[in-house]
């Protein structure tokens, strides 16, 4: 379904985990970020693109390699694809297995593939897509392959799996990197006077102090780990998040142990 439709971009929301796909219209190119999840949802996005296309080139950007963000890649094999260097170099077989299991469970038969990437992005690189500069900000912490997308001319920040109002942080790469990323995103919001902030799951935010509030809530939560017994009331109550919280705690403890043992080696 469509969560938000503005003149220059549309945010699609999947029925699953409220995952967003962002379609951006520029005068001479169409950009699609993270097409997901279900076959009909992907077909709808594809149809909408063709209806408005007018021979413009199509770019598909993947924020990171998690399965819920690459699952729809099969629908856009003719597009010019964009992702980070780490995305290309990282083994994604676990992610593809997740898609396989999901499809088997739900009797879905669609191609399962990690997208081949045409434009491999170096950290914080800016590319001209059509006539619009698009900056890809390296944002590890949730995942090592992660980047967020800034379109300065539209005051638009598509941040991927950060800044959600419906789920707590999933620290699947590194807590310190996660905290740095939260700082980076906060600076970008101020520096580029972001008006539109699109998270990978949940609601678009058009209020700058709310954007900062979401990122600060994540920061406070992570800083309070691992002592924190429960994740923060900033996000809704959900049994699944208890498991996420436990995983986050283990991740923080593990990184702390690694850090200590490295220190002893010196």
Interacting residues with Zn ion (CB under 5 A): 66, 161
Nearest C-alpha neighbor of 131 from the set 28, 57, 60: 28
* CA–CA distance, 162 with 105 (Å, rounded to integer): 28
In the bound state with Zn ion, the residue whose beta carbon lies nearer, of 247 and 259, is 247
Q: How far is the CB of 126 from Zn ion (least distance, A)?
A: 24
Nearer to Zn ion, 161 or 203 (CB): 161
Distance from the first to the final alpha carbon of the chain: 55
**What is the four-CA torsion angle of 151, 22, 200, 67, rounded to 10 degrees?**
-120
CB of 104 to Zn ion, least distance (A): 21
| CB nearer to Zn ion: pick between 66 and 245 | 66
**Distance between CA atoms of residues 159 and 109, nearest Å:** 30
CB of 19 to Zn ion, least distance (A): 9
Q: Is the dihedral of CA 243, 143, 73, 199 positive or negative?
A: positive
Helix (H, G, I), strand (E, B) or coil at 157: strand
Nearer to Zn ion, 71 or 217 (CB): 71
Nearest distance from C-beta of residue 46 to Zn ion, angstroms: 23
């Amino acid at each position: 379904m469509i969560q938000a439709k503005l003149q220059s971009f549309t945010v699609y929301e999947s029925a699953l985990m409220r995952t967003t796909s962002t379609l951006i219209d520029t005068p001479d190119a169409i950009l699609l970020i993270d097409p997901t999840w279900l076959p009909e949802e992907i077909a709808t996005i594809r149809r909408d693109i063709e209806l408005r296309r007018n021979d413009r080139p199509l770019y598909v950007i993947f924020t990171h390699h998690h399965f819920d963000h690459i699952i729809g890649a099969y629908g856009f094999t003719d597009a010019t694809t964009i992702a980070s260097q780490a995305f290309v170099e990282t083994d994604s077989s676990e992610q593809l297995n997740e898609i396989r299991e999901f499809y088997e469970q739900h009797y879905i038969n669609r191609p399962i593939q990690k997208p081949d990437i045409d434009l491999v992005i170096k950290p914080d690189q800016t590319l001209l897509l059509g006539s619009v500069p698009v900056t890809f900000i390296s944002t590890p912490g949730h995942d090592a392959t992660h980047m967020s997308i800034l379109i300065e001319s539209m005051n638009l920040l598509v941040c991927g799996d950060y800044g959600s109002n419906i789920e707590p942080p999933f620290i699947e790469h590194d807590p310190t990197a996660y905290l740095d990323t939260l700082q980076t995103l906060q600076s970008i919001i101020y520096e580029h006077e972001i008006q539109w902030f699109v998270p990978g799951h949940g609601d678009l935010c058009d209020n700058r102090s709310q954007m900062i509030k979401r990122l600060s809530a994540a920061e406070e939560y992570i800083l309070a780990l691992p002592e924190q017994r429960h994740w923060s009331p900033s996000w809704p109550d959900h049994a699944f998040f208890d498991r996420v919280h436990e995983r986050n705690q283990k991740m923080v403890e593990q990184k702390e142990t690694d850090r200590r043992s490295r220190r002893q080696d010196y």
